[in-house]
């Protein structure tokens, strides 16, 4: 059965990255939104609400999304766009403090993989 067009409430969007259970309903819905697996409706007002709530300090501590240095967000976003990808960097701050579920390797380690 094809799912109906949905309006996803902010509490579902917030709960998705917070849950430790990848197969939880909220995580599955958020993953489905990201993949375009079902039709959903958005408005400027709803997107603004998602953003406002996700950026609250208390919520940010729970979901851990975003880079320690906001200037690095483009790297982490790109990394998360492709499953099983890794960031190759010599920047120790990035390597020692990546966002959750981020794979980071040193150039020497990655170069060793190329020789195999």
What is the pLDDT at residue 115? 65
38 Cβ neighbours under 8 A, 6+ residues apart? 3, 6, 32
12 Cβ neighbours under 8 A, 6+ residues apart? 26, 29, 30
User: What is the rounded CA–CA span in Å between residue 31 and residue 97?
Assistant: 24
First-to-final CA distance of the chain? 46
pTM over 0.85: no
Interval 105-113 mean pLDDT:
84
User: 6 with 38: CB under 8 angstroms?
Assistant: yes
Higher pLDDT, 64 or 105: 105
């Amino acid at each position: 059965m094809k799912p109906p067009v949905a309006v996803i409430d902010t509490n579902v969007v917030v709960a998705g990255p917070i849950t430790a259970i990848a197969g939880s309903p909220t995580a599955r819905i958020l993953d489905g939104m990201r993949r375009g697996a079902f039709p959903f409706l958005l408005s400027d007002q709803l997107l603004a609400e998602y953003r406002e709530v996700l950026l609250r300090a208390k919520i940010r501590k729970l979901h851990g999304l975003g880079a320690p240095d906001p200037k690095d967000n483009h790297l982490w976003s790109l990394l998360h766009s492709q499953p099983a990808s890794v960031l190759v960097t010599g920047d120790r701050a990035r390597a020692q403090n990546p966002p959750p579920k981020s794979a980071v390797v040193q150039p020497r380690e990655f170069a060793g993989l190329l020789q195999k």
